[in-house]
Chain A
Amino acid sequence: MGMTMAEKILAHGAGLKEVSPGQLVKVKTDVVLGNDVTAPVAIREFEKLGVKDVFDKERIMLVPDHFVPAKDIKSATLSKVMRDFAHEKGIKHYFEIGEMGIEHVILPEKGLVLPGDIVIGADSHTCTYGALGAFATGVGSTDMAAAMATGETWFKVPESIKFHYHGKLNPYVGGKDLILHTIGKIGVAGARYQAMEFMGETISQLSMDHRFTISNMAIDAGAKVGLIEPDETTLRYVRERAKRPYQIFRSDKDVRYIAEYDFDVSKIEPTVAFPHLPENTHPISEVGEIAIDQVVIGSCTNGRIEDLRAAAAVFKGNKVNSNVRVVLFPGSQDVYLQAVREGLVEIFIKSGVAVSTPTCGSCLGGHMGVLAKGEKAVSTTNRNFVGRMGHPESEVYLANPYVAAASAIKGRIASPEEVVKPEEVA
């Protein structure tokens, strides 16, 4: 029997001919990542090891993104710990705010994560890079610390689940709806410990931005990784960015998946996840009347240029409802600049949207749009847990950028078709 992508990448990283699910393997890490919340803890643990240098100055990525620009003295101190460490150890890929962005947007954008890589990141949404065909997964700060010293980590080889998508996408439906619909089907622990492998004609036709959105939320089904086999779209994206060699791994034809799901995407509508779990999904036509106070557009899930274009297509010529605050976070400085060049930022500002510098910001209730008691938000982010965006009695509804923008205009959770014709967003 053949091997899955996940097994092949781990076998390669472990220097073994083959591996099988359940096996514990020690692998080399191609990229080790941390942010301003997790890296300071990792640095403290790293220092306990008594090692002078990191394993490779070019393979450690330190990205201040959660609480930057610093929201208070404590977070300024955390960023300083990371900045000082980066300078002292000569870490090449440290991103000060002028060139920064949200970690999972900038690493692919700058060609720092490539197909076939093994990536551990002290951030759960590290699984985003599965869209490039990389075995990328979230870990805690101590795992990050050990890998910064040794360039190695350990994994239990996961079983793989196949997610196949076919059919034509409906208007206003994209990667966010496919992954929310999938999590709605299998639950937030539906792929716990396992590798999700996304495939089929629908996935093949998706752009990288939509694919990143899908892989990004694999963790929100409990998965270790969310993989998409590299194809021409992937290679076009990677070729113009890669500064080092990379390797493509594909699942063999005769592999056995522990479960298989097939989705006819023509039946999937724009999808909204209700509080307080991403699995509480409803098609937009069944949402009902839910008045909102805030809309958040951006994040590692939906902060890329195509997400901003989608939002702008809805905002164009419309005004934000007077009962709603809208905060938009481009995922990186490059995305921001592109949005300026395309005139999107002007559309946003004329509509009454507040455009922020790139940051994780309000996604995790950090800053830049925290919710008060009883408030409701529609957000293009990835989690709607109790208290995720502020007060424990606030509520977050997860949706795609079209729905978020339409809701901002209507003052309630709204379908994009109420605001803009399908042919105007294509």
Chain B
Amino acid sequence: MKFEGKIWKFGNDIDTDVIIPARYLNTTSHEELAQHCMEDVDPSFAQKVSKGDMLVAGKNFGSGSSREHAPVSIKAVGVSCVIAESFARIFYRNAINIGLPILESPEAARDAEEGDIFEVDADSGVIHNVTKAKSYQAAPFPAFIQEIIHAGGLIPYVKERIANA
């Protein structure tokens, strides 16, 4: 999977409460969740983000609550992938499970400035900052996680295994 888009930059410890505040957890509608994506850190984010844009963040992105509504809202608002210095573990699992591409690259995340254009090859993990003409190699996924990603998420992966059992 290859993506190209403008990046939106966020800081450290962006928690799932600010990604999708609990006042919107009374719905499971992807469209509704998308409308409130990142609302408590940037109230206008959902309006100004364009399809294919990327999120770039600091350390421990997605910390806190296990709400899958957080990666769902990011994916549903049109963000193509998330690059961070590091991810909180539940968010990391959830993103892979629902098929939201994520990449861990401290250098790419630190160098990036809001509005930079990125090209990302999620399969090889190569991140290219077009604006700064600089390339980075993200940490590779273990083979087993790659299988889940290639299946399109955990549900298609498990469904296939159940069918073959």
Residues on A lying within 8 angstroms of B by beta carbon are 24, 37-38, 40-41, 44-45, 48-51, 66-67, 71-72, 74-75, 78, 121-124, 126, 138-143, 145-146, 149-150, 154, 156, 188-189, 192-193, 219-220, 222, 224, 277, 364-366, 370, 383, 385-388, 392
Contact = CB atoms under 8 A, between A and B. Distances in A.
A150 B155 contact: no
Interface in B131-165: 142, 144, 153-155, 158-159, 162
Interface residues of B, number: 40
A193 B25 CA distance: 26
Contact of B68 (A41, A192, A220): A41
B25 A66 contact: yes
Nearest to A158: B89
Nearest to B92: A193
B66 interface: yes
Given A139-B66, A149-B162, A387-B40, A49 B155 contact: yes
Given A138-B90, A222-B63, A50 B159 contact: yes
A-B pairs with lowest CB-CB distance, top 10: A140-B94, A140-B68, A74-B26, A142-B97, A387-B40, A364-B22, A189-B60, A124-B66, A138-B66, A75-B26
Given A74-B26, A364-B22, A45 B155 contact: yes
A188 B63 contact: yes
Contacts of B66: 38, 121-124, 126, 138-140
A296 to B, nearest CB: 14
Given A142-B94, A142-B155, A364 B26 contact: no
Which residue, of B28, B66, B144, B159, has the highest number of chain A Cβ atoms within 10 A? B66
Nearest to B23: A365
Contacts of A74: 26-27
A282 to B, nearest CB: 18
B88 interface: yes
B88 A192 contact: yes
16 contacts: A67-B26, A124-B65, A139-B93, A140-B94, A140-B98, A142-B94, A143-B94, A189-B88, A192-B86, A222-B89, A364-B22, A366-B25, A383-B64, A387-B17, A392-B21, A392-B40
Given A50-B159, A189-B13, A189-B60, A72 B26 contact: yes
B71 to A, nearest CB: 8
Contacts of B162: 49-51, 149-150
A24 B28 contact: no
Interface string B11-44: 0010101100111011110000000000011000
Given A140-B71, A145-B155, 20 more contacts: A24-B142, A24-B144, A40-B28, A41-B68, A49-B159, A50-B162, A78-B26, A78-B28, A123-B65, A123-B66, A140-B94, A145-B154, A150-B162, A189-B59, A189-B60, A192-B60, A366-B25, A385-B64, A386-B41, A392-B40
A40 B94 CA distance: 16
